[in-house]
């Protein structure tokens, strides 16, 4: 079979189109996800601050906090996330599938909600995990200076 | 014979298509939004106010190419962006447009100037409800009181305070949850 020079570009273009159609990831290779995706549930309208928590030291700290947290069998709400305006806690997604860390958990005011086949509630003693994740959001610049100042000064905290 | 059947059904088909496309007042149905997953975390107050699930954390004006900056989190820029999406300012009569098939839903806009915006919607029972961002849809304000008037509702807490009441607008909603008719993105 012989393809003339004139037709060659058309044949190549057709081959690329077919490849793109058959292979959804063609030309859009996603970089591998690193660490945890952390979302600070803060705003109502505009998108919430999001950052990635990576590095063995940081991830070990999260893992240690979760391992040390005691289960709260008497937690009487369906979720730790409140239905109020303003700060509503922190949502952590283990979208990279890191071992030893739940697929999704949320933390708010001393309580951790671990999502799985069966949701369970743990104690975040002294709000240690929540403070750590919130401080990381500020340190990484995910939370802007104005909001960081409000958090630091406790503005509208009630 | 088959053609006669088709002809007989045509008016009914048109009526159903027309009726499902018209504006109706929403019913407070928090379970639709509060799934603790995709719907809850990807639909914000603007989605809820317009009763339209997009799973994109919809932003006023984005469907028309308007991108609001943080500095534009003020009454007029957000209101104008919503107008570009098809919402209309509340007429002087104080009533949203209505016809024999239904009426548009009253929504209210508030802002924490330079920080964020928030929307409430008025449901069929005349009370106001809202969905604070990725949080749960609720009929309560930040003092845990039912909202009969968004102007006097407690809108402060958790380091934010939506101090500025921007006014009311009308949105073409639906009595089917998440199926509002405004073009938001």
* A84-103 pLDDT, tens digit each: 999 999 999 999 999 999 99
In sequence order, the β-bridge partners of residue B130 are B120, B138
Angstrom distances, CA of residue B172 to CA of B66, B75, B140, B169: 20, 21, 23, 10
* Residue of A47, A82, A147 lying closest to B159 (CB–CB): A147
Angstrom distances, CA of residue A107 to CA of A86, A89, A117: 15, 6, 18
User: ipTM of this predicted complex?
Assistant: 0.90
How many angstroms away from the CA of A27 is the closest CA of chain B? 24
| pLDDT surpasses 60 at A1 | no
Lowest mean pLDDT across A55-69, A125-139, B9-23: B9-23
**pLDDT value of position B16:** 45
Angstrom distances, CA of residue B166 to CA of A58, B158, B160: 43, 21, 16
Cβ neighbours for B7, distance < 8 A, ≥ 6 positions apart: none
Q: Over range B123-151, report the average pLDDT.
A: 98
**pLDDT value of position A157:** 83
Q: Over range A6-19, report the average pLDDT.
A: 59
User: In Å, how far from its chain's centre is CA B29?
Assistant: 13
The answer to whether the CB atoms of A84 and B68 lie below 8 A apart is no
Q: What is the pTM of this model?
A: 0.86
**Residue of chain B nearest A104, judged by CA positions:** B37
| pLDDT surpasses 70 at B99 | yes
SS3 helix, strand, coil % of chain B, rounded to 5?
25, 25, 50
Cβ neighbours for B107, distance < 8 A, ≥ 6 positions apart: B49, B50, B87, B119, B120, B121, B122, B168, B169, B170, B171
Q: Over range B59-77, report the average pLDDT.
A: 97
Cβ neighbours for A130, distance < 8 A, ≥ 6 positions apart: A89, A90, A107, A108, A109, A110, A124
The answer to whether the CB atoms of A45 and B156 lie below 8 A apart is no
Q: Hey, where are the domains in chain B?
A: 2-171
The answer to whether the CB atoms of A79 and B136 lie below 8 A apart is yes
Interface test with B, best of A82, A85, A150 (most B CBs within 10 A): A85
- Report residue A33's pLDDT band, with 50, 70 and 90 as the boundaries: confident
Q: Over range B141-169, report the average pLDDT.
A: 98
Q: What per-residue string of b and e applies to A70-80 under the rule 16 or more CB within 10 Å gives b?
A: eebeebeeebb
| pLDDT surpasses 80 at B142 | yes
Strands of the sheet containing A120-123, edge to edge, are A50-53, A36-40, A90-93, A104-108, A111-115, A120-123
The answer to whether the CB atoms of B157 and A156 lie below 8 A apart is yes
* Residue of B36, B60, B155 lying closest to A85 (CB–CB): B155
* Residue of A39, A86, A151 lying closest to B157 (CB–CB): A86
Rg of chain A taking only CA atoms, in angstroms: 23
Is some CB atom of chain B closer than 8 A to the CB atom of A90? Answer: no
| pLDDT surpasses 60 at A17 | no
Is some CB atom of chain B closer than 8 A to the CB atom of A53? Answer: no
Instruction: For residue B88, report the phi and psi dihedrals to the nearest 5 degrees.
Output: -125, 145
How many angstroms away from the CA of A23 is the closest CA of chain B? 26
* B4-59 pLDDT, tens digit each: 655 665 555 444 444 456 899 999 999 999 999 999 999 999 999 999 999 999 99
Chain B residues with CB under 8 Å of a chain A CB are 34, 36, 41, 44-46, 57, 59-60, 68, 70, 73, 78, 114-119, 130-138, 140-142, 155-162
Q: Which helix (H) or strand (E) holds A129?
A: helix A128-139
Q: Hey, where are the domains in chain A?
A: 31-153
| DSSP-based three-state secondary structure for A133 | helix
| DSSP-based three-state secondary structure for A53 | strand
In sequence order, the β-bridge partners of residue B105 are B171
User: In Å, how far from its chain's centre is CA B85?
Assistant: 11
């Amino acid at each position: 079979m012989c393809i003339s020079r004139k037709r060659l570009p058309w044949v190549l273009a057709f081959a690329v189109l077919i490849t793109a159609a058959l292979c959804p990831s063609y030309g859009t290779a996603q970089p591998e996800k690193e660490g945890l995706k952390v979302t600070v549930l803060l705003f109502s309208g505009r998108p919430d601050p999001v950052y990635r928590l990576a590095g063995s030291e940081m991830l070990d700290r999260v893992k240690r906090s979760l391992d040390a947290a005691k289960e709260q069998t008497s937690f009487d709400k369906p979720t730790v996330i409140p239905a109020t305006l303003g700060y509503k806690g922190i949502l952590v997604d283990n979208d990279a599938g890191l071992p030893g860390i739940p697929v999704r958990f949320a933390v708010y005011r001393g309580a951790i909600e671990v999502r799985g086949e069966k949701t369970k509630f743990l104690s975040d003693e002294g709000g240690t995990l929540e403070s750590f994740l919130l401080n990381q959001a500020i340190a990484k610049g995910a939370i802007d200076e104005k909001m960081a100042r409000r958090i630091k000064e406790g503005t509208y905290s009630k | 014979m088959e053609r006669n059947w088709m002809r007989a059904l045509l008016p009914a088909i048109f009526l159903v298509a027309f009726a499902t496309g018209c504006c109706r007042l929403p019913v407070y149905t928090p379970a639709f939004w509060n799934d603790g997953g995709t719907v809850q975390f990807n639909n914000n107050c603007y989605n809820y106010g317009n009763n339209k699930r997009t799973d994109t954390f919809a932003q006023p004006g984005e469907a028309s190419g308007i991108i609001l900056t943080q500095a534009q989190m003020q009454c007029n820029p957000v209101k104008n962006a919503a107008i570009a999406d098809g919402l209309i300012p509340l007429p002087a009569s104080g009533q949203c447009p209505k016809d024999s098939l239904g009426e548009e839903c009253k929504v209210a806009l508030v802002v924490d100037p330079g920080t964020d915006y928030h929307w409430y919607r008025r449901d069929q029972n005349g009370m106001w409800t809202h969905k604070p961002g990725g949080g749960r849809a609720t009929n309560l304000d930040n003092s845990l009181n039912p909202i009969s008037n968004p102007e006097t509702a407690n809108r402060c807490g958790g380091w934010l305070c939506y101090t500025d009441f921007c006014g009311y607008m009308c949105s073409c909603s639906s009595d089917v949850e998440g199926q509002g008719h405004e073009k938001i993105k």
